[in-house]
Amino acid sequence: MALNIQAIRGMNDILPDETNLWQKVEKILRETLAQFSYSEIRMPIVEKTNLFSRAIGEVTDVVEKEMYTFEDRSGDSLSLRPEGTAGCVRACLEHNLTYNQEQRLWYMGPMFRHERPQKGRYRQFHQLGVECFGLQGPDIDAEIIILTATLWKKLGIDQHLQLQINTLGQANERAAYKESLVKFLEANFDKLDEDCKRRTHTNPLRVLDTKNEDIQKLLEQAPKLFDYLGEETKAHFNNVLSILDHMGIKYEINQKLVRGLDYYNLTVFEWVSDALGAQATVCGGGRYDGLLELLGGNQGYGLGFGLGLERLILLLTTLGKLEADNNVDVYVVSSGNNIEAYSAKIACQLRDLVPNLKVRNHCGGGNFKRQFKKADKLQARFAIILGEQELQEGLVGLKDLRDANSVQQSCSIQEAALTIKSLLSK
């Protein structure tokens, strides 16, 4: 019986046509991050499980239900990273990167969460993560939002993403608020669903972002976090908003925005699109000053965001803002005795002469007609044609495949390179 091994549910192959799109998007992300003077950091994909349970919080969806956790051969409990912030903070503390210095960092790569797979939600997905350390804000809070807004502009989707923003205050302010929220929830306990009942005593703030509409209605009468915030917290928030106003970045203050992970304080934000259906949040982040200390560092400052690349690419393709590039500019066709070495050499010379040109050397023999068919199918713009005569004279044939009137021209590879360059720049 033939083996029928398939990929794991919710973990996708990204096929050649798609990687072309991914690379285009990643290039824009990398270039923008460099413009803002952020540096790349690369962390392992696997960490000790207690890093995540400590950083993200025991009673969060991610740690309770979504982690890929296993014992390795030494009996250590390890987990595939469900997000990047915990590992990034761990790496910075381990290598002393946050001691008396600031950092502006980014990473890109796969994350793993055991969720129910659906459009925009997978078990292996990819994030761009940005993290800043050692800066108290509010200017840096605004900067990371400006950075995301710049990305949307460059990708041509700034009209399709809305910024939602909130402040969660400081831990002590939240503690006072939590107490009165729990009282309210307990008084209305019979109106809550199972999830919210459970969260009332484990993570009451999470009740605020329930999707249950009846409970949402009930929550309109609940105490508001904003009334428990001190002057400093409010000033921080207003300063962030004022910078956004000056930059012309529109936002909606959403008091129900609490974010899924435990570690946030002060500014939190999400970028949401109405073109994505249920999985609408493309990017989310905020401040998490307490996390450094929680993971064994000194009291410090940290903030950042995670951007879901699958959702971003889905949005770009849905809106028709992203098309695959052709991956062949020049197809080298050849036929004749001992022509293989000549065609390999000509193809390499052309790649040296025009470095950003995509040159495919035909391999596998066959007559010219068959080779031209291949060039057509791959939508190559030019053909370089090599036969025994070209081999003897050290010349090449060049033909513009998009121009029906073009006749094959015989010239040196240097001349061919110049012609190709000038035709491409038109």
Do you know the residue count of the chain? 426
Among the listed ranges 181-189, 245-253, 308-316, 324-332, the one in contact with ligand ATP (CB under 6 A) is 308-316
Mapping DSSP to helix (H, G, I), strand (E, B) and coil, where does residue 224 land?
A: coil
Spell out, one character per residue from 119 to 158, where the chain touches ligand ATP: x when CB under 6 A holds, - when not.
-xxx--x-x-------------------------------
In whole angstroms, how close is the CB of 125 to ligand ATP at the nearest point?
3
Between 115 and 415, CB nearer to ligand ATP = 115
Neighbours of 324 (CB within 10 A): 14
Contacts of ligand ATP in 9-38 (CB under 6 A): none
Please provide residue 301's backbone torsions phi and psi, each rounded to the nearest 5 degrees. Answer: -125, 135
Among the listed ranges 118-126, 145-153, 235-243, 362-370, the one in contact with ligand ATP (CB under 6 A) is 118-126
In angstroms, rounded to a whole number, what is the distance separating the alpha carbons of residues 163 and 13? Answer: 31
Between 319 and 353, CB nearer to ligand ATP = 319
In whole angstroms, how close is the CB of 176 to ligand ATP at the nearest point?
25
Q: Could you write out the DSSP letters of every residue in 120-167?
A: TB-SEEEEEEEEEES---SHHHHHHHHHHHHHHHHHT-GGG-EEEEEE
In whole angstroms, how close is the CB of 127 to ligand ATP at the nearest point?
5
CB 96 within 8 A of CB 64: no
Residue 90 found at the interface with ligand ATP (CB under 6 A): no
Residue 281 found at the interface with ligand ATP (CB under 6 A): yes
Q: What is the dihedral of CA 114, 120, 124, 127, to 10 degrees?
A: -120
Residue 262 found at the interface with ligand ATP (CB under 6 A): no
In angstroms, rounded to a whole number, what is the distance separating the alpha carbons of residues 24 and 22? Answer: 5
Neighbours of 146 (CB within 10 A): 16
Spell out, one character per residue from 210 to 249, where the chain touches ligand ATP: x when CB under 6 A holds, - when not.
----------------------------------------
Residue 160 found at the interface with ligand ATP (CB under 6 A): no
Interface residue with ligand ATP, options 258, 308, 331, 390 (CB under 6 A): 308
Q: Please, how many CA atoms are within 13 Å of residue 211, restricted to the half-sphere of its CB? A: 3
Residue 300 found at the interface with ligand ATP (CB under 6 A): no
Residue 287 found at the interface with ligand ATP (CB under 6 A): no
Interface residue with ligand ATP, options 113, 160, 287, 362 (CB under 6 A): 113
Reported in sequence order, the residue ranges of 356-426 that DSSP labels E, i.e. its strands, are 359-361, 382-386, 396-400, 409-411
CB 136 within 8 A of CB 170: no
Which residues sit at the interface with ligand ATP, rule CB under 6 A? Answer: 83, 113, 115, 120-122, 125, 127, 260, 279, 281-284, 306, 308, 310-311
